[in-house]
Amino acid sequence: MILPINAERPMRVLQITDCHLGAESSETLLGLNVETSFVDVLEHALVREETPDLILVTGDIAGDPSAQAYQRFVYHLDKAFPEVPFVCIPGNHDVPATMASVFPESSLPKMVELGDWLILLLDSTIPNKEHGDLSAQELDFVQKTLMHNPDKRAIICMHHQPVAVGCEWIDQYKVASAAQFKALLSEFDNVELVLWGHVHQAFETEVEGVRYMASPSTCIQFKPNSVDFALDRLMPGYRWFELDNSGQLSTRIERINQKDYPIDYSSNGY
């Protein structure tokens, strides 16, 4: 996918992740109606932000991967941002074939070009497994794309975390081939950012000059630095990016205003 750029201003990207929508709109996750919080997040972005150039969705769109869940995702996205293209990668809770049967083909590219920027969309899922991995094919795609585009700044997206975020219980599901992935990146100097979902929390670090980031879910939030499963009381949210033509990337997390969702904060799993 190649997006038209506006030379007068930075490109704007809205990242949303881990919506966990169900087959019914009444679906809840630990007491939270996941469709309500998803719509709340979209409305917050709609009111607060300029219109994005791209919506980037980093997996776990569905919690129960039925066609209806993906249909309602598209319905709400289109209602809030009718003119904005969206692109998706699957998470461990998604079924890629069902996603592909509902989403337009244009929303499932391997790469998006926005002027001087390239967004690579990797599939880190393994069917019926919770942890992530990048296949030899995905690593080869990264290697070839970076090699053939030395003048572009790259953002590499996947669902699972390629570095530990500090939550023992969920870090056991990180990308198994993370060491190979990082070794591969060290051969290039045009990777700006590695970005993922999965961990339902904001996270940022830097490894060998590359920024690594995770973002809040549109539903429940996991508590940072937890050994065992624990929920955070932070509100659902999104991440906002501005990418300018000189290769500068700025980003921030936004969360919806405090709202009294009936979440079971004492739960020890989901």
Nearer to Fe ion, 28 or 210 (CB): 28
Nearer to Fe ion, 18 or 123 (CB): 18
Strand spans (E) along 17-121: 28-29, 32-33, 54-57, 86-88, 111-114, 117-121
Closest contact distance (angstroms) between CB of 87 and Fe ion is: 18
Among the candidate windows 14-22, 48-56, 173-181, 239-247, which touches Fe ion by CB under 5 A?
A: 14-22
User: Looking only at residues 45 through 64 of this chain, which bind Fe ion when binding is defined by CB under 5 A?
Assistant: 60
Nearer to Fe ion, 62 or 112 (CB): 62
| 3 state SS of 150 | coil
The phi-psi region of residue 25 (left if phi > 0; otherwise alpha if psi is between -120 and 50; otherwise beta) is alpha
Closest contact distance (angstroms) between CB of 91 and Fe ion is: 6
Among the candidate windows 10-18, 37-45, 154-162, 167-175, which touches Fe ion by CB under 5 A?
A: 10-18
Half-sphere exposure at residue 103, Cβ-oriented, CA atoms within 13 angstroms:
27
Cα gap 179→174, rounded to integer Å: 11
Alpha-carbon torsion (88, 177, 173, 237), positive or negative: negative
Based on the shown chain and the rule CB under 5 A, indicate whether residue 123 belongs to the binding site for Fe ion. no
Count residues near Fe ion (CB under 5 A).
2
Based on the shown chain and the rule CB under 5 A, indicate whether residue 18 belongs to the binding site for Fe ion. yes
Nearer to Fe ion, 142 or 213 (CB): 213
Cα gap 231→100, rounded to integer Å: 31
| Residues pairing with 191 in the sheet | 154
Nearer to Fe ion, 15 or 114 (CB): 15
Based on the shown chain and the rule CB under 5 A, indicate whether residue 94 belongs to the binding site for Fe ion. no
Angle (CA) 33-39-43 rounded to 5° is: 145
- The footprint of Fe ion (CB under 5 A) covers 18, 60
